[in-house]
C-alpha cells in the first residue's frame, strides 16, 4: 500500500448512496422485457403429506395462461437444491427438490409454477390448480422430532441427519476435578433475515446463441451459475448471472433456492423472458429461516473462577430439508461456544433435527448469535454463584494477546480446525466499560426507579471472517485515464463500491473518483467467489491489492518500452507515467492495459469486541426500555470508519429486534401464524434511539496484506446475551432468570408473575 492518497482509513461518504436516495438504483423488479411472462409459484398449503394429485387442466384453460410446470415437466430425477458449504455425501437424500412430486414437507414448499401474461392471471391460475394432498402428522417441535415416530424421510429411519461434535482437551477429567459446576438450559427462537427487498429473478434465453442470462443474482453468483448450468445441462460459459442493486442480504439473499432453477428453466422452455417477484408473505414463508436452537450445557470452574471446562448438548431445528448453507449455524454453535474465552477442555455435540417448517440457513452471525446467548448467560450465572464480579470473571478468562494465535475446539464431521489470528480482547472490554461508564451505571443495578427496575449487562464476542479459498480481481485502464476494477465480491448493502474504491485508489496512487468498481456479475470475471462470512474486504480487497501491483508492473513494462529504459526507472505521479529523462505520458495513453490479481487464503480472521447495555424493566407490563447500548469492535484495520460504524449499528438493531420482537410461530399442524408484518414484528426507526458504536484497529490480522478482518456481523452477535444479562440484573431481586428468547413483554411479565 502507498501513503500517497491515504484514502484507506478515511470516513468517506458512500458513493452508491447517491443513486439510492435519488431513486436511480436498479433492482431486479425494475427490469422489464416487452414479451416477458410472469411466474407465480403454487406452494403447498399442507405442512406434511403425500401428493395424490396436481390437476392443472382447469387452470391451464384460463385466458392468458401460457404454461403450468409441475415436477413431471422437469424430468427425472427432479433437480435439487445443492449444499454449498460443508457438503457431505450422507446428506444428499435430504436435499430439497425444486418442485415437490411425491411428498410435501413444509407449508410453502413449491409444487407447481404458473406462467402467464400478468401476475394477476398467474395468481388466479395457481388458485385454480386442483391440489390434493393426503395430510400426515406435522412435526413442529424438536422433542417430537427426536422421538422418530413421524418421519420426514422414511428411508432414513430418523429425523436427525447429522450430529456435530466440538472437542478440545479432556472435558470429563476437568469436570471430575472442578471446584464448581453448573448446568443450564437455554433456547433461542426461530426468526430470520427479512431484507427490505424480497427476492426476485428475471431470466432470458437466447436460442440463437444457446445462452441464458439471469438477473437478480446476489452473494455467490459464480457458485449459483455452476449449479444452474449443471442442472440445465449447459456449459458454464452459456450462463451468466447479473447482479443488480440489492435491498439487503444478511445471509439469506443470494443462496440457491428452487426458484433459481425454475425461472431460468421456464425461460429456456418457453423461449420468452420470465420474471418472478416474491411477495412479502412468500418471503416470510419460503426464504430460509434461522436460529431455532436450544441447549443443555454445563460449565466447570476452579475456586478462583478460572473456567476449566465446558460440555453439553445443543439441538437445532433445521426445518424440512438441508439447504445450501443450512449446516453453518449448527457447526458454529459447537465450535465457537467458547467465544473469546480460554476454555481448555470442551466437549459439545450439536444435533440437527428435521421438522415440518421452512428450511433453515444463515442469518447474520449464524450460530454465533445463538451460542453467545447460551454462553454469556451461563457466565453471568457462574460469576454470581462464585461471588465474583461478572466483569472480573470475564477479564480473568479472556484469551490474552500473548496467547495468539489461539487454537479453539476441533469440529467434526467435515472436520476442521481453526485458530484466532490476533487480538487483545481485554482492550476492547476496557474500552467498552469506559464508553459505557460502567462504574456509574452498575450502581443502578436492581434499583426500582419510577416504577421500573434498572439493570446493566455486558458480554464479549468474536466474529469470524475471510472464508477462502480465493477471490479474483481485474484492473483495466480506460480511454479517459480512469481505471475500472472488476472484482468477484458481491454488493449486498455493505458499501462495497466505496470501500473497494478507497483500497484500489490508494494502491494505484490515483484520486478516489478515478477508480470505478464493478462487482458480482459473472460477465466481469471468469471466476469469482462472492460475499459471505464477512469476507469481501479481506478477500476482495486483498485481490485488488495484488491486481494493482500487477497493473503497476505492466505499466512499468509498457513505459519502459516507450521511454527506452528499465522498468524500475518508471515512476507514477499525478496520473502520469514518467521516465528517467523527465518525459511522461498520461495514464490514458496506456488505455486497454489490463492486469489480474488473486488472493488465496486458507485461514480465517477474527474480529472481536464487547457490548454493554443499560435497561429499565416495567414489572407491570414486562416492557424493556433500552436506555443505553455501547458496542466496541476491533477489526484489525479500518478501511472506512463511517461505513463500518453503519454496519455495526445496523447489525445491532437487527439483534435488538430479534431479541425482543421477531419470531416465527407455528401451530400444531405446521401452519405459520406469523406470515405477515401484522404478526411478525420488527423494529422500526424510533424503537432503539440510544445505541452507540465505536471501532478500533489495535491488532491487525497477520493473514492478509490489508491487516483487515471481517466486520459485517459483530454488531449482532452478542446482543441477546448482553440484553438478557441486563434484564436479569434488573430483576434479580425478583429472582427472574431469562433462559429463553424472545424477551417479549408477555414472556417477561409471566416470568415476573411466576417469581412473585
Q: Phi/psi of residue 333, each to 5°? A: -55, -45
**Angle in degrees, CA 700, 703, 704, rounded to 5:** 80
For 47, 103, 146, 406, 602, the CA distances from 132, given in Å and listed in that order, are: 13, 11, 29, 57, 50
Task: Report pLDDT for 282.
Answer: 96
502 and 494 in contact (C-beta within 8 Å)?
A: no
Q: Among 3.40.640.10, 3.30.365.10, 3.40.50.20, 1.10.10.10, what is the CATH number of 17-26+467-600?
A: 3.30.365.10
Q: How far apart are CA 392 and CA 344, in angstroms?
A: 19
Q: How far apart are CA 302 and CA 245, in angstroms?
A: 53
409 closest CA partner among 348, 352, 463? 348
Cell numbers 425482543 correspond to: 660
End-to-end CA distance of the chain: give it in Å, rounded.
63
Decide: helix, strand or coil at residue 587. helix
On the CB side of 665, how many CA atoms lie within 13 Å of its CA?
Answer: 14
Decide: helix, strand or coil at residue 455. strand
For helices 221-232 and 258-270, the axis angle rounded to 10 degrees is: 50
**Angle in degrees, CA 403, 409, 413, rounded to 5:** 150
Is this prediction's pTM over 0.75?
A: yes
For 233, 523, 648, the CA distances from 230, given in Å and listed in that order, are: 5, 18, 38
601 closest CA partner among 705, 474, 526? 705
Query: Taking the domain 366-463+606-755, which CATH number applies?
Result: 3.30.365.10
201 and 214 in contact (C-beta within 8 Å)?
A: yes
Three cell numbers written together for 488? 468477484
Q: How far apart are CA 145 and CA 3, in angstroms?
A: 59
Q: How far apart are CA 345 and CA 354, in angstroms?
A: 30
**Angle in degrees, CA 672, 678, 679, rounded to 5:** 40
358 closest CA partner among 266, 252, 199? 252
Task: Report pLDDT for 2.
Answer: 40
Query: Taking the domain 31-136+198-246+253-286, which CATH number applies?
Result: 3.90.1170.50
- Domains of the chain, by residue range, sit at 17-26+467-600, 31-136+198-246+253-286, 366-463+606-755
Task: Report pLDDT for 221.
Answer: 98
For 143, 153, 250, 549, 668, the CA distances from 136, given in Å and listed in that order, are: 18, 13, 34, 62, 12
Phi-psi region of 312 (alpha: psi -120 to 50; beta: other; left: phi over 0): left
Mean pLDDT of successive 10-residue segments in the chain (756 residues)?
A: 71 94 94 97 98 98 98 95 96 98 97 98 98 98 96 97 98 97 98 96 98 97 98 98 94 97 98 97 97 98 98 98 97 98 98 98 98 98 98 98 98 93 98 98 97 98 96 98 98 95 97 96 97 97 98 97 96 94 94 98 97 98 98 98 96 98 98 96 92 97 97 96 98 97 97 91
DSSP string of 19-42?
Answer: HHHTT----GGG---TT-EEEEEE
**Angle in degrees, CA 438, 440, 442, rounded to 5:** 60
Q: Phi/psi of residue 589, each to 5°? A: -70, -10
Alpha-carbon 477 to chain mean position: 34
Q: Phi/psi of residue 692, each to 5°? A: -135, 140
Decide: helix, strand or coil at residue 149. coil
Q: Phi/psi of residue 218, each to 5°? A: -160, 155
Q: How far apart are CA 636 and CA 531, in angstroms?
A: 19
Q: How far apart are CA 670 and CA 357, in angstroms?
A: 7
Q: How far apart are CA 458 and CA 376, in angstroms?
A: 8
287 and 257 in contact (C-beta within 8 Å)?
A: yes
What are the residues facing 473 on neighbouring strands? 487, 597
Task: Report pLDDT for 4.
Answer: 58
Q: What is the dihedral of CA 10, 16, 17, 23, to 10 degrees?
A: 170
Residue 396: Cβ within 10 Å count: 15
Amino acid at each position: 500500500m502507498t501513503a500517497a492518497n491515504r484514502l484507506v482509513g478515511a470516513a468517506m461518504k458512500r458513493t452508491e448512496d447517491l443513486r439510492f436516495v435519488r431513486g436511480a438504483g436498479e433492482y431486479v423488479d425494475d427490469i422489464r422485457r416487452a414479451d416477458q411472462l410472469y411466474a407465480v409459484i403454487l406452494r403447498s398449503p399442507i405442512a406434511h403429506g403425500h401428493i395424490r394429485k396436481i390437476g392443472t387442466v382447469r387452470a391451464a384453460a384460463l385466458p392468458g395462461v401460457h404454461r403450468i410446470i409441475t415436477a413431471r415437466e422437469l424430468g427425472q430425477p427432479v433437480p435439487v437444491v445443492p449444499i454449498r458449504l460443508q457438503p457431505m455425501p450422507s446428506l444428499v437424500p435430504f436435499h430439497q427438490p425444486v418442485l415437490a412430486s411425491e411428498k410435501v414437507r413444509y407449508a410453502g414448499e413449491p409444487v407447481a409454477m404458473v406462467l402467464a401474461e400478468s401476475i394477476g392471471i398467474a395468481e388466479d391460475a395457481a388458485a385454480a390448480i386442483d391440489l390434493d394432498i393426503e395430510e400426515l402428522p406435522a412435526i413442529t417441535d424438536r422433542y417430537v422430532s427426536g422421538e422418530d415416530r413421524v418421519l420426514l424421510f422414511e428411508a432414513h429411519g430418523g429425523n436427525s441427519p447429522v450430529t456435530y461434535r466440538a472437542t478440545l482437551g479432556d472435558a470429563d477429567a476437568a469436570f471430575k476435578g472442578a471446584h464448581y459446576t453448573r448446568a443450564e438450559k437455554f433456547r433461542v427462537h426461530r426468526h430470520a433475515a427479512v431484507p427490505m427487498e424480497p427476492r426476485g429473478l428475471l431470466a432470458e434465453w437466447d436460442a440463437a446463441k444457446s445462452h441464458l442470462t439471469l438477473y437478480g443474482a446476489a452473494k455467490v453468483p459464480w457458485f449459483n451459475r455452476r449449479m444452474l448450468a449443471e442442472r440445465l445441462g449447459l456449459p458454464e460459459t452459456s450462463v451468466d448471472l447479473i447482479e443488480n442493486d440489492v435491498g439487503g442480504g444478511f445471509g439469506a439473499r443470494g443462496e440457491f433456492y428452487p426458484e433459481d432453477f425454475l425461472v431460468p428453466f421456464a425461460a429456456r422452455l418457453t423461449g420468452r423472458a420470465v420474471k418472478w417477484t416474491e411477495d412479502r408473505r412468500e418471503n416470510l414463508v419460503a426464504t430460509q429461516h434461522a436460529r431455532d436452537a436450544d441447549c443443555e450445557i454445563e460449565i466447570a470452574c476452579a475456586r478462583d473462577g478460572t473456567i476449566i471446562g465446558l460440555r453439553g448438548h445443543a439441538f437445532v431445528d433445521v426445518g424440512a430439508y438441508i439447504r445450501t448453507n443450512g449446516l453453518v449455524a449448527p457447526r458454529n454453535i459447537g465450535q465457537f461456544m467458547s467465544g473469546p474465552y480460554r476454555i481448555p477442555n470442551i466437549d459439545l455435540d450439536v444435533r440437527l433435527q428435521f421438522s415440518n417448517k421452512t428450511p433453515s440457513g444463515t442469518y447474520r452471525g449464524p450460530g454465533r448469535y445463538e451460542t453467545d446467548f447460551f454462553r454469556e448467560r451461563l457466565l453471568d450465572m457462574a460469576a454470581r454463584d462464585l461471588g465474583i464480579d461478572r466483569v472480573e470473571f470475564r477479564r480473568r478468562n479472556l484469551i490474552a494477546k500473548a496467547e495468539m494465535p489461539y487454537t479453539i475446539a476441533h469440529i467434526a464431521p467435515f472436520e476442521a480446525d481453526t485458530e484466532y489470528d490476533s487480538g487483545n480482547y481485554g482492550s476492547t472490554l476496557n474500552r467498552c466499560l469506559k464508553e459505557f461508564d460502567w462504574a456509574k451505571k452498575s450502581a443502578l443495578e436492581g434499583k426500582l426507579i419510577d416504577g421500573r427496575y434498572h439493570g446493566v449487562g455486558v458480554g464479549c464476542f468474536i466474529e469470524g471472517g475471510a472464508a477462502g479459498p480465493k477471490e479474483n480481481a481485474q484492473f483495466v485502464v480506460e480511454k479517459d485515464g480512469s481505471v475500472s476494477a472488476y472484482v468477484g465480491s458481491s454488493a449486498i448493502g455493505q458499501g462495497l463500491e466505496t470501500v473497494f474504491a478507497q483500497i484500489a485508489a490508494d494502491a494505484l496512487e490515483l484520486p478516489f473518483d478515478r477508480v470505478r468498481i464493478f462487482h458480482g456479475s459473472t460477465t466481469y470475471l471468469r471466476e469469482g467467489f462472492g460475499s459471505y462470512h464477512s469476507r469481501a474486504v479481506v478477500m476482495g480487497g486483498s485481490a485488488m491489492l495484488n491486481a494493482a501491483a500487477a497493473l503497476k508492473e505492466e505499466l512499468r513494462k509498457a513505459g519502459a518500452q516507450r521511454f527506452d529504459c528499465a522498468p524500475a526507472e518508471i515512476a507514477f505521479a499525478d496520473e502520469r507515467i514518467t521516465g528517467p529523462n523527465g518525459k511522461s505520458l498520461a495514464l490514458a495513453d496506456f488505455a486497454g492495459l489490463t492486469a489480474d490479481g488473486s488472493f488465496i487464503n486458507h485461514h480465517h480472521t477474527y474480529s472481536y469486541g464487547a457490548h454493554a447495555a443499560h435497561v429499565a424493566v416495567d414489572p407491570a407490563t414486562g416492557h424493556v426500555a433500552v436506555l443505553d447500548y455501547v458496542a466496541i469492535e476491533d477489526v484489525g484495520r479500518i478501511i472506512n470508519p463511517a461505513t463500518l460504524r453503519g454496519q455495526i449499528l445496523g447489525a445491532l438493531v437487527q439483534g435488538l429486534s430479534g431479541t425482543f420482537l421477531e419470531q416465527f410461530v407455528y401451530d400444531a399442524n405446521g401452519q405459520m401464524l406469523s406470515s405477515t408484518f401484522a404478526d411478525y414484528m420488527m423494529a422500526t426507526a424510533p424503537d432503539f434511539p440510544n445505541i452507540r458504536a465505536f471501532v478500533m484497529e489495535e491488532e491487525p490480522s497477520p493473514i492478509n496484506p490489508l491487516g483487515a478482518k471481517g466486520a459485517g456481523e459483530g454488531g449482532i452477535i452478542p446482543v441477546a446475551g448482553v440484553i438478557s444479562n441486563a434484564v436479569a440484573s434488573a430483576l434479580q431481586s425478583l429472582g427472574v432468570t431469562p433462559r429463553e428468547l424472545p424477551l417479549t413483554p408477555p414472556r417477561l411479565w409471566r416470568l415476573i408473575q411466576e417469581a412473585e
